[in-house]
């Protein structure tokens, strides 16, 4: 009787231990990506930090982007000139975690294709979850200025390549399966949130592509991030697509911030060009920066460098 009771207690302890480990691992997965919304109308969240590439480094920049869950383009914007294939040991790299929230009502999912980030505002909460994304290639663009909704969710999606996709891969010497069954080898990963018109927010079976233009129009996330969205985003959630390379914020302390990203190219010529594509400035942004308190040199530098980092443009 005593041994039976002991076995029962040990079994219960083992169950509680597994539950505790599950909670810790899942909390760690999304800890750095879920933020309390700023108070008093402020819109800047997060903090940038700097890492040093370790001695005798043999890892690509993608490794560090994945480790700190930022998009590859975001980390390249913030660190112009760093070697994407093999960053040099001792190099200091900015991890871009400070972000200006989109200037629109905080609800549902907002996808800003220009900065390649997804923002999820859970209903009846004071939180925002932010994840880097991969978007459509040139000529296969992810939609801009589009409002839709999550129509359904699927664990273990199948992928059936269209005829045009099959032809595209065939020209590269790769024959695609007619249908890819659910599983770890499926290019859509293990989780999918389906929108309208064959678009989806999904995972991946690859170790790259987050923060790059690599898809045929869908939104690609790292697997831990899409799992979080799958578990937290209800069917019917609104999804808004925007294309805003410039974001601004007037904070309550009177400081003005501007965050400038490289605008998306809409053709291969500008995509491959070494020259910057001009940025179209709206009247709202024009009026925001034309202020006697604004340092015009800092503004010009922000537009020239396009580092994707919030910059205080008020004169000291």
- Indicate if 144 belongs to the active site: no
Instruction: Check if the beta carbon of residue 312 is closer than 8 Å to that of residue 257.
Output: yes
Which of 144, 202, 276, 290 is catalytic? The answer is: 202
- Distance in angstroms (rounded) separating the CA atoms of residues 154 and 270: 37
- Distance in angstroms (rounded) separating the CA atoms of residues 190 and 196: 19
- Identify the three-state secondary structure at position 94: strand
Which of 218, 232, 276, 290 is catalytic? The answer is: 218
- Can you name the residues that pair with 127 across neighbouring β-strands? 36
- Count of C-beta atoms within a 10 Å radius of residue 149: 15
List the structure tokens of 152. 């359904």
CA dihedral 179, 183, 187, 193 (to 10 degrees): 100
Query: Under the phi-then-psi rule, with left for phi > 0, alpha for psi from -120 to 50, and beta for the rest, what region is 76?
Result: alpha
Contacts of 142 (CB under 8 A, 6+ apart): 111, 113, 135, 136, 199, 215, 217, 218, 219, 241
Q: What is the DSSP string of 212-281?
A: SEEESSSEE--HHHHHHHHHHPPTT-EEEEE--SEEEEE-TTS-EEEEE-PPPPSSHHHHH-SSPPPPPP
Taking alpha carbons only, the member of 232, 91, 215, 99 closest to residue 161 is 215
- Indicate if 232 belongs to the active site: no
Give the active site residues. 202, 218
């Amino acid at each position: 009787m005593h041994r039976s009771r002991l076995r029962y207690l040990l079994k219960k302890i083992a169950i509680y231990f597994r539950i505790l480990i599950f909670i810790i691992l899942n909390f760690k997965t999304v800890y750095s990506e879920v933020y309390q919304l700023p108070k008093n109308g402020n819109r800047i969240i997060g903090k940038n930090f700097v890492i040093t590439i370790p001695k005798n480094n043999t890892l690509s920049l993608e490794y560090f982007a994945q480790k700190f869950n930022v998009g590859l383009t975001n980390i390249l914007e913030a660190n112009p000139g760093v070697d994407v294939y093999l960053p040099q040991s001792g190099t200091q790299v900015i991890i871009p975690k400070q972000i200006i929230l989109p200037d629109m009502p905080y609800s549902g999912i907002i996808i800003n294709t220009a900065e390649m980030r997804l923002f999820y505002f859970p209903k009846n909460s004071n939180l925002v979850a932010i994840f880097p994304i991969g978007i459509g290639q040139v000529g296969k663009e992810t939609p801009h200025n589009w409002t839709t909704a999550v129509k359904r969710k699927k664990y273990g999606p199948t992928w059936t390549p269209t005829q045009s996709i099959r032809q595209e891969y065939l020209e590269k010497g790769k024959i695609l399966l007619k249908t890819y069954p659910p599983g770890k080898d499926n290019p859509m990963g293990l989780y999918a949130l389906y929108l309208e018109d064959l678009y989806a927010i999904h995972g991946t079976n690859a170790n790259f592509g987050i923060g790059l233009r690599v898809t045929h129009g869908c939104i690609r996330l790292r697997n831990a991030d899409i799992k979080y969205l799958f578990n937290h985003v209800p069917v019917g959630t609104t999804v808004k697509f925007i294309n805003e390379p410039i974001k601004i914020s007037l904070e309550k302390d009177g400081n003005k911030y501007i965050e400038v990203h490289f605008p998306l190219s809409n053709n291969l010529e500008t995509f491959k060009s070494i020259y910057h594509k001009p940025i179209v400035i709206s009247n709202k942004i024009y009026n925001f920066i034309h202020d006697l308190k604004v340092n015009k040199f800092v503004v010009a530098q922000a537009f020239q460098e396009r580092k994707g980092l919030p910059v205080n443009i008020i004169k000291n």
